[in-house]
Structure 1
Amino acid sequence: MITLLPRLLLAFVLLAAAVSVQAQQLFRITAIPDESPTELARKTAPLAAYLGSRLGVKVEFTPVTDYAAAVEALASRQVDLAWLGGFTFVQANQRSGGKVLPLVQRVEDEQFRSVFITTNAAIRSLADLKWRTLSFGSPSSTSGHLMPRSFLLAAGIAPDRDLKRVAYSGAHDATVAAVASGKVDAGALNISVWEKLIADKKVDAAKVRVFHTTPTYYDYNWSVHADMPAARRDQLVRAFTELSPETPEGREILALQRATRFIATRAENYRGIEAAARSAGLLK
């Protein structure tokens, strides 16, 4: 029995080490819930499998309940990689004390836009929104709240003063549903989601229409915590930027991500978002 103890102890140590290594090999990703949970899961599954093959680890998608949870998950290192909007990146960077880094963005995110939609024939411009009801998406959404609010303010319309009521749907597709059902007179959302809903015939374009498209701004990116080793960050950048529509795998992933291709990005690109958030009183 005595001679067995060292062997049992060694086996226990080896098992513990194996479990530890296995835990370290799990790579967690998340995304702001700007669409329904089922749509996010559908979009993320092929990307997670691809990243797993490129990184040599198991990649697991961890859904979150709201935008604030995505910010906290990355800032506190509960996840390794997060799909953030421009505003949630700024929030995560502030929450982490400047320790969140944007790695890549879609080409489309260099010149992103929002759209204002309505079913009301009398609404033809932003000025026509006065004393009417409007739905944004999530309060922390760049394209569904911050930038539309910023452009309204620039047009001389203070939403909380000049509109009859301001609502928050929580997600872009929910904003469209609120407008289509007549719960609100108008809504503001991400142009990419709008175009996808139109393409998939999930909205009646004869009933719901765009009456204003905003100027362009930087938006979404995939971000990591600065504590991630540089070698791993480089692996991720290569994995994303090497996705190509010329391969079946790349074509599927890029289509699901609504991307032509991914390019490297940097924190400086989002200074305009930060300035807009401070100007709108949404960031202290």
Structure 2
Amino acid sequence: MKNSALSISRRLFSVAAIALAVGFSMSAHAEQVLKVTTIPEEAATEQIRKFEPLANYLSKAVGMKVEFTPVSDYPAAVEALVNKKVDLVWFGGFTHVQASLRSGGKVIPIAQRVEDTKFQSVFIAKTDSGIKSLQDMKGKQISFGSQSSTSGHLMPRSFLLEAGLEPEKAFKRVAYSGAHDATIASVVSGKVDAAALDITVWKKFVAENKVDTKAVDVFYTTPPYYNYNWTVHQDMPADLRKKIQKALFDLDPAVPEHAEILKLNRATRYIDTKPENYKGLESAARSAGLL
């Protein structure tokens, strides 16, 4: 009798344990996760450092777990959103255009920084190089960032072409560093004579004393253009899209926690944007033979 009772007790315990495990499994499965990535404009460690506070903020604002996974290169960020492997991507203007074309217009830009309405690129060189203008770059070795970068390639190339300088013909060598911080390093180390990059990355390096402007500095700043944005796939539920958008718009520089997030993202504030803002970049990319 005692053995029978023990056997029943064990069976009941097993059933309870299985039910508990299934419950945990279903709960974990049911947990919604917002998957986010960014174009790798800087080293992966820097991307994570910049994004973690924003991820925590978004998690509270939208009521979901937020996962951030760096990608290997700019095209990988495009493919991740087009194939719905991620839900939200920080794109440059050009990668947004590429994602729009790859998806057949099925991606939606939902926010940009105030800075992105009049963005600029800078060209840098060693101060003792003798390079003081775009024309002085003739016959020199130069570097862009990623081939898919707006501020590190597309727009600098576009303005060079307007100045009558076709990079592959005008320069001794054209290199691609892959990221803005690597672009700066290529000039500092002397691997190239001059290079083009994102003005906000340059300003950040100067502010953090990561570059000596007595040795390397800006010799040309481009005219303004539209650039970065946060983009989602059109299949994202509208209410979730609006929650994310509102959370970004609600970031207030007067709130210390928000101010830190904005600073890390090199933003004054986030504002609304629309697909039409990036048509000029598409035209520039076609003119430069990049589309």
- Give the TM-score normalised by the residue count of structure 1: 0.94
Tell me the alpha carbon deviations over residues 121-174 of structure 1, each in whole angstroms, 9 at most, x when there is no partner.
Answer: 311111111111100000000000000000000000000111110000011111
Alignment of 1:20-59 (within 5 A): 20-22=29-31, 25-59=32-66
Say if 1:109 and 1:2 are closer, same or farther in 2 by CA, change over 3 A.
same
Coordinate RMSD, CA, aligned: 1.9
1-side partners of 2:79 and 2:286: how far apart? 20
2-side partners of 1:272 and 1:46: how far apart? 33
Q: 2:97 aligned with 1:70, yes or no?
A: no
| C-alpha displacement of 1:96 | 1.1
Say if 1:11 and 1:265 are closer, same or farther in 2 by CA, change over 3 A.
same
SS in 1 for 2:132: coil
Give 1:163's match in structure 2, choosing from 162, 171, 177.
Answer: 171
| C-alpha displacement of 1:65 | 0.6
Corresponding residue pairs, total: 281
Counterpart amino acid of residue 60 in structure 2: S
Alignment of 1:66-215 (within 5 A): 66-119=73-126, 120-215=128-223
Alignment correspondent of 2:27: 18
Q: 2:280 aligned with 1:272, yes or no?
A: yes
Say if 1:132 and 1:232 are closer, same or farther in 2 by CA, change over 3 A.
same
| C-alpha displacement of 1:6 | 10
Tell me the alpha carbon deviations over residues 41-83 of structure 1, each in whole angstroms, 9 at most, x when there is no partner.
Answer: 1100000000000011110111101001111111111111000
1-side partners of 2:187 and 2:21: how far apart? 60
| C-alpha displacement of 1:20 | 2.5
Say if 1:12 and 1:183 are closer, same or farther in 2 by CA, change over 3 A.
closer
Q: 2:256 aligned with 1:231, yes or no?
A: no
Q: What residue ranges of structure 1 are gaps of 5+ in the alignment?
A: none
SS in 2 for 1:167: strand
SS in 2 for 1:212: strand
Say if 1:132 and 1:50 are closer, same or farther in 2 by CA, change over 3 A.
same
Which range moves more in the overlay, 106-115 or 87-96? 87-96
2-side partners of 1:38 and 1:10: how far apart? 41
Counterpart amino acid of residue 254 in structure 2: E
2-side partners of 1:16 and 1:39: how far apart? 34
2-side partners of 1:250 and 1:7: how far apart? 46
Counterpart amino acid of residue 36 in structure 2: I
Q: 2:250 aligned with 1:242, yes or no?
A: yes
Counterpart amino acid of residue 197 in structure 1: F
2-side partners of 1:144 and 1:98: how far apart? 24
Counterpart amino acid of residue 270 in structure 1: Y
| C-alpha displacement of 1:5 | 12
- Give the TM-score normalised by the residue count of structure 2: 0.92
| C-alpha displacement of 1:18 | 2.4
Say if 1:186 and 1:15 are closer, same or farther in 2 by CA, change over 3 A.
same
**Structure index of larger Rg:** 2
SS in 2 for 1:45: helix
Cα contact 2:129–2:193 (8 A) shared by 1: no
Q: What residue ranges of structure 2 are gaps of 5+ in the alignment?
A: 1-9
1-side partners of 2:101 and 2:141: how far apart? 32
| C-alpha displacement of 1:95 | 1.1
2-side partners of 1:144 and 1:51: how far apart? 28
